[in-house]
Amino acid sequence: MLGQIAYALPFLAQGFALTLWVSLLVVVLSLIAGVILGVGLVYGPTPVRWAVRIFSDTIRGIPILVLIFFVYYGLPAVGIHLQSFWAAVLALTLFKTAQVVEYLRGAVASIPKGQSEAAMAIGLTFRQRLAYVIFPQAFRRFLPPWINGVTDAVKGSALVSLLGITDLMQAINQVIGRTYEAMPLYILGALIYFAVNYALSYASRRLERRFAFIRD
Amino acid sequence: MASSNKPPVLLDIAEVSKSFGAVNVLRSVSLTVDKGEVVTIIGPSGSGKTTLLRCVNFLESYDSGSIRIDGKEVGFRPGPARDSGARQRRSERDLASMRAETGMVFQGFNLFPHLTAAGNIMLGLTKVRGKSSAEARSIAEHWLGRVGLGHKADSLPAELSGGQQQRVGIARAVAMEPKILLLDEITSALDPELVGEVLAVVRSLAEDGMTMVMVTHEMAFARDASSRIVFMADGGVSAVGPPKEVLAAETTNERLRAFLARFRASHF
Ligand SMILES: Nc1ncnc2c1ncn2[C@@H]1O[C@H](COP(=O)(O)OP(=O)(O)OP(=O)(O)O)[C@@H](O)[C@H]1O
Ligand SMILES: [Mg+2]
């Protein structure tokens, strides 16, 4: 049994690498998109605010599974053909982006108005106010839910196996298909996911402590 | 009168009106402040004192009239179409650089909690004035020394008392070398025993010739430190003149007399 699993390890490792790659792409892309849209939601002119609001509410109202199938099977209908890998990354990114938008909005809204005004009063431009006054303070509130969201993204990436992409989950299923060693392999898989997310939570707690400079 | 004797007008507020929805908060307010003057605004709650100050550095826009600092219109670009209602708001960059010329000190201090006392002062110096951080640091230390906080340069706001925070707030504003300093009830949030240390700083700035417009309920201080006192009521300037005149008990201005009477009853 162990021999068979050991034999399958390189294959599992490849799946694991793909899981990490998908997660990394989703986390980075959604962070960039979410922060941009979040700033639009908080500070943008009314049409922009509405557009972001509708985007965020719609996406968050759709189960992630439906979103994945929608992107994979629905987009070709309008002439957009994506490889299953990129369809999965896009769907997960959309989902995550809507969450990042909300974290950002919440974090920025928690900063008192007087901070922006003080920053304006010394002559900082909008971008400078965000960069030097608002974001550094909002960061501490943004971090905990966002890290939570990152661990969700790692777990959620297992859904890409539904599109036939060989991530860790799919690799495990395939090895089980060959070896019939379901329990040990699922336990191994659970341990790997757990280890990654534990490491993330640990890093998050360290970061939060580092940024605990603001009284509440 | 020879114009060479009279200090130039620095702040020129002309017929400024503003409403929030249906409420007319400012009704055709006109006021000029000469260079080096200390003008104190008093008046009942809701009379528009804060709103007027906020219009001067364009934290608040105004509906009509004009506000000029050193001849330059605050908030709007000059243009022939101005009076036809087609005023054009200045660009973000333009607004920012104009705001850098007016210092503001807030009732609630509004220090940046993630920066030290020196860091609060250095931010504008480095990002707006383009000074090196070494230069900014030495300016920050100079001003912290001036407000009696030379030893607190590396303290975070949370580690300072209210009076100390407000003195950092003043240092942050004046370090930018503004043409005019706006102070809105800067001692109202302080415990009584901390008010004196903050007012002493304001007084020393006045002695240095800093042009100031302040809103305060500290009547004794207003009387001693101001060149002129403005009494606002219902969004308009109801009385203006030297402290002795405006604060005289025998004033013929009914509203002012009522205000002062109520004020004396509650504050002395
Ligand atoms: N952002 C706002 N939106 C709507 N109404 C406002 C706003 N800011 C001020 N007001 C109203 O404008 C009027 C003038 O307010 P302002 O704060 O200028 O008065 P004030 O003279 O500073 O009063 P106080 O002595 O209480 O500070 C008040 O009726 C107030 O309710
Ligand atoms: Mg006020």
Question: Which ligand has its closest atom nearest to the C-alpha of B47?
Answer: 1
Q: What is the CATH number of the domain that holds B56?
A: 3.40.50.300
The chain A residues in contact with chain B (CB within 8 A) are: 112, 114-115, 117-126, 128, 132-133, 136-137, 213-215
Pocket of ligand 1 (CB under 6 A): B 20, 23, 25, 43, 45-51
Which of chain A's residues have a Cβ under 8 Å away from the Cβ of B124?
122-124
What does the angle CA A191 – CA A192 – CA A194 come to, to the nearest 5 degrees? 65
B110/A123 Cβ within 8 A: no
| Residues whose CB falls within 8 Å of the CB of residue B174, separated by 6 or more in sequence, listed in order | B103, B143, B181, B205, B210
- Ion ligand 2 residues within 5 Å by Cβ: B 50
Task: Output the residue whose Cα is nearest ligand 1's atom 18.
Answer: B48
Ligand 2 center–CA B49 separation, angstroms: 6
State how far residue A136 is from chain B, nearest Cα, in angstroms: 7
More confident residue, A40 or A201: A40
Amino acid at B171: A
User: Is B233 in contact with B46 (CB distance < 8 Å)?
Assistant: no
Residue B131 belongs to some domain of the structure: no
Contact A121 B108 (CB under 8 A): no
Mean pLDDT of chain B, nearest integer: 91
B53, B57, B104, B112, best to mutate vs chain A, most A CBs in 10 Å:
B112
What is the DSSP annotation of chain A? Answer: -HHHHHHHHHHHHHHHHHHHHHHHHHHHHHHHHHHHHHHHHHHS-HHHHHHHHHHHHHHHTS-HHHHHHIIIIIGGGGT----HHHHHHHHHHHHHHHHHHHHHHHHHHTS-HHHHHHHHHTT--HHHIIIIIIHHHHHHHHHHHHHHHHHHHHHHGGGGGGGT---HHHHHHHHHHHH--HHHHHHHHHHHHHHHHHHHHHHHHHHHHHTTTS--
Of B246, B242, B231, B247, which Cα lies nearest the Cα of B48? B231
Which residue from B minimizes the CA distance to A118? B110
Where b means 16+ CB within 10 Å and e means fewer, A85-99 reads: bebbbbbbbbbbbbb
CB neighbour list of residue B8: distance below 8 Å, 6 or more residues apart: B34, B35
Going by their DSSP bridges, the two strands B72-73 and B228-233 should be labelled as unpaired
Q: Using a CB-CB distance cutoff of 8 angstroms, which residues of chain B are in contact with residue A115?
A: 110, 112
Residues 6 or more apart whose Cβ sits within 8 Å of residue A212:
A140
Q: Taking CB atoms and an 8 Å limit, are B173 and A132 in contact across chains?
A: no
Residue of B nearest to A213 (CA): B114
Residue B31 forms part of a structural domain: yes
Return the residue in A116, A122, A141 with the most chain B beta carbons within 10 A, the one to mutate for interface testing.
A122
CA B158 to CA B162: how far, in whole Å?
Answer: 9
Q: Given a cut of 70, is residue B3 above it in pLDDT?
A: no
Q: Which residues of A touch B127 (CB under 8 A)?
A: 124, 128, 132
What pLDDT is recorded for position A206?
84
What is B75-132 written as a DSSP string? SEE--GGGGGT--EEPPHHHHHHHHTTEEEE-TT----TTS-HHHHHHHHHHHTS---
Amino acid identity, position B97: S
Residue B152 located in a structural domain: no
State which of B40, B42, B45 you would mutate to test the pocket of ligand 1, scoring each by most atoms of that ligand within 8 A of its C-beta.
Answer: B45
Which range of residues forms the domain containing residue B250? Answer: 2-89+214-267
- Per-residue pLDDT for B252 more than 90? no
Contacts of A120 in chain B (CB under 8 A): 57, 59, 96, 99
Nearest Cα of chain A lies from the Cα of B218 at a distance, in angstroms, of 23
Residue among B57, B104, B114 whose CB faces A213 most closely = B114
Measured CA to CA, the distance from residue B181 to residue B10 in angstroms comes to 12
Q: Are B29 and B236 in contact (CB under 8 A)?
A: yes
ipTM score of complex: 0.90
% of chain B with per-residue pLDDT over 90: 78
**Residue at B36 is within a domain:** yes
Give Cβ neighbours of residue B99 (< 8 Å, ≥ 6 apart).
A120, A121, A122, A123, B57, B58
Tell me, yes or no, if B164 comes closer than 8 A to chain A by beta carbon.
no
**Given ligand 1 and candidates B16, B17, B23, B54, which is best to mutate, with the most ligand atoms within 8 Å of its CB?**
B23
Q: How confident is the model at residue B4 (pLDDT cuts 50, 70, 90)?
A: low
- Which pLDDT score is estimated for B79? 66
> B10: distance to nearest CA of chain A, Å?
18
Output the pLDDT for position B1. Answer: 47
Average pLDDT, chain A: 89
Region B93-120: mean pLDDT is 95
* Cβ A12 vs Cβ A175: under 8 Å: yes
**3-class SS of residue B181:** strand
Whether B195 shows a pLDDT value over 60: the answer reads: yes
Ligand 1: which atom is nearest the Cα of residue B21? 4
Tokens of A29: 């892309």
3-class secondary structure, B184: strand
A98, A55 contact by CB (below 8 A)? yes
User: Does B96 sit within 8 Å of A120, measured CB to CB?
Assistant: yes
E strand or H helix that includes residue B255: helix B254-267
- Report in angstroms the alpha-carbon separations of A63 from A19, B16, B195, B258, B267: 20, 54, 58, 65, 63
A131-188 pLDDT, tens digit per residue, is 999 999 998 889 888 988 888 888 888 888 888 888 888 888 888 988 888 888 899 9
Q: How far is CA A46 from CA A107, B108, B124, B217, B227, in A?
A: 20, 30, 30, 39, 45
Please report whether residue B249 resides in a domain. yes
Distance from the Cα of B225 to chain A's closest Cα (Å) equals 24
CA distance A120 to chain B (A): 7
How many domains does one find in chain B? 1
- CA–CA distances in Å: residue A72 to residues A66, A85, B39: 10, 9, 68
Which ligand 1 atom minimizes the distance to the CA of B217?
25
Q: What tokens appear for A87 in the block?
A: 């369809």
Q: Which of A60-64, A201-205, B7-11 has the lowest mean pLDDT?
A: A201-205
B79 φ/ψ angles, rounded to the nearest 5 degrees = 180, 155
**Does the residue B51 lie in any domain?**
yes
The CA distance from A128 to B116, in Å, is 18
Q: Which residue do the tokens 């009942």 mark?
A: B44
**A122 to B124: CB separation less than 8 angstroms, yes or no:** yes
- CATH: 3.40.190.90, 3.40.50.10190, 1.10.3720.10, 1.10.645.10. Which one for A2-26+61-96+106-210? 1.10.3720.10
Q: What is the pLDDT, as a whole number, of residue A31?
A: 96
Residue A174's nearest CA partner among A4, A24, A17, A26 is A4
The domain locations on chain A are 2-26+61-96+106-210
Cβ burial B52-63 (10 Å sphere, 16+ → b, else e): bbbbbbbbbebe
Distance between CA A81 and CA A72 in Å, rounded? 8
List, for residues B42-87, the tens digit of each pLDDT value. Answer: 999 999 999 999 999 999 999 999 999 999 999 898 765 555 556 7
Return the H-helix or E-strand segment holding B257.
Answer: helix B254-267
Judged by CB atoms closer than 8 Å, whether chains meet at A125 and B102 is answered as: no
